[in-house]
Every structure is written in C-alpha cells, then in structure tokens.
Amino acid sequence: MSTSPESTAAAAHPAPERIAQHRRYLMCRPEHFTVSYTINPWMEPQNPTDTATALAQWQTLYDTYVALGHDVELIDPVPGLPDMVYTANGGFVIDGTALGVRFRVEERRGEERPFMDWFARHGLEVVEPVEIQEGEGDFLLVGDVILAGTGFRSVGDSHREVAEVFGREVVSLRLIDPRFYHLDTAISVLDPVEGPGGVEKANIAYLPTAFDDESRRILAERYPDAILVSDADGAVFGLNSASDGRNVFVSPRATGFQAQLRERGYNPVLVDLSELLLGGGGIKCCTLELRGKS
C-alpha cells in the first residue's frame, strides 16, 4: 500500500498536541437569506434558495461553537440585507478596536452602519474606514501579522489603513481567481495565536492557485510548513473554515483537507453550510472573531 509524502512525514515526526483556545464570535441568523442579485460567481438568482435550510445549517454551526465552549454574540438581521449572515465582512476586530467596513458593492453598503453601531454598543472602540475594504473577509490575523487581500473587493490602500489603525505588520496578497474573491476563501488560519505546550505559531493552510506568483512566493517564504490545499477542496470552500487551534470547523465536502488536518494533529469538525454557499459564503464568512484587549 502506498503512502503520501505527508503521511510518511507524519509518521517520522508525530504531530504536536493541539490545544483549543477560547474564541468569541459574532454571528447573524440568516432570517432574510436569499439570492436575489449577483455579486460573486457563486450567486445565481435563477436557482431558488431555501431559507429554512439555511437557518438550520447556520444553527448547527452556532450550536457547534457553543458546545465546544466558545462564546457567540448575535447581531440582529435587517430585512433587505440578505448577506448580513456573512458577518466576517462586517469589520475587523483586534484588542477591543473595531475597524468598520466600506463595501465595494452597492448591494451590501446598507450593512456598514448596523455593524459599526453593534460594535459601539458592545464597548468596542470603532474606527470608521476611509478606504474600501470588506473586513475579516480580506484581513486575517496570523500571529502578530495581518495578511491582507486585494484583487476583487478590498483596495490596496486599505492595507495601509489597517496597518495604521492596528500598528501591525501587514502583508499584501493578490487574489486572481474570481471564485475566491475574499482572502478568507483561500487561506485558513489554523493557529490564531501561539498556544501553550510548545505548539508552533501561525500555521495556515492555503490554495496556491488562488494567488498570483508574487503572493505565492511570499506565502511559501513566510509559511514553509503551511498546508497546501487542492483545487478540489478549495472549490467546495474548504478553506473558508474557522479554527480554535485544535478544532477546525470545515466543510464535509473538503475530504482531502480533512485528512491533511488530521495528519497535523488538528480535529476536523464537519459542518455543512451548502445552502449558504449559494450566496458565496461558508463557515468563516459566517464567523467574525471578536478579539478583546489582551
């Protein structure tokens, strides 16, 4: 029986023990979910959506987070804003500061104020953005570094703005495949912070074909031990996942990625959000991390 190179490496170097870390998330019930317009390649208004199915799948994700000890806050859905369920696009929060968003597309601009108002009511320091960017969809915190996407939604100048707001190094990456229009569809942050017990810092997984040559070079140089995910797993939004450092909440259809995670010592937790994928979003899109002051 043949074995994969990763399997051989895993046998030679046992995976470290992964430690789950408490997270606090913001979610929004998809009570008004539908696909009535097209702003990404996944959205086809001629194909009917089932709001009840979307609600049931979303509830499973919510319940899974809570069952594993994470806190989940809720923002009220607003009629006429079907994409509010994708809370990751509503802002970017580090150390109790929330940078609001300015959507590129007209259809989502009505979400900007409800999210900033929610942040303010819940004690976060809110910074109103100047540049066009779409929150944690295109900004990912990896250790002390912010990976920032551009190419389809967030503009390059937003990378300078996020660096100024949070005082952190920002690494720009360019997306080239319109199916992966946000950074969180092509990169999964597996270890959001360094864990105790010698767990290495800043593990990521990513889809190489979603990026231009220079971005691939940067990722390979900075994250030589990253998990490289197949096109097949990327195409089912396998990388649009959330992680607490041990449990990785991932699409059940991303079977190859699940095997890669297990070989590295992670625990894949399978949650089907196939109905919400009809709107171009998955697990991570429905999950905005609320990082308080450290």
pTM for this entry: 0.90
Q: What is the pLDDT at residue 44? A: 59
Question: How confident is the model over 241-257, as a mean pLDDT?
Answer: 97
Q: In whole angstroms, what is the distance from residue 285 CA to residue 90 CA?
A: 10
Question: How confident is the model over 22-41, as a mean pLDDT?
Answer: 78
Catalytic residue among 28, 70, 285, 286: 285
Q: What is the CATH number of domain 20-289?
A: 3.75.10.10
Query: Which of 237, 236, 214, 217 has its CA nearest to residue 226?
Result: 217
> Is 28 annotated as catalytic?
no
* Predicted confidence (pLDDT) at residue 133 exceeds the cutoff of 60: yes
Question: How confident is the model over 178-203, as a mean pLDDT?
Answer: 76
Give all strands (DSSP E) within 153-218, no chain letters: 170-174, 187-189, 204-206
Q: How confident is the model at residue 169 (pLDDT cuts 50, 70, 90)?
A: very high
> Is 286 annotated as catalytic?
no
Q: Is the CB of residue 5 less than 8 Å from the CB of residue 228?
A: no
Look up residue 99 and give its two tokens.
Answer: 């940078």
Q: Which amino acid is at 158?
A: S
* Predicted confidence (pLDDT) at residue 40 exceeds the cutoff of 80: no
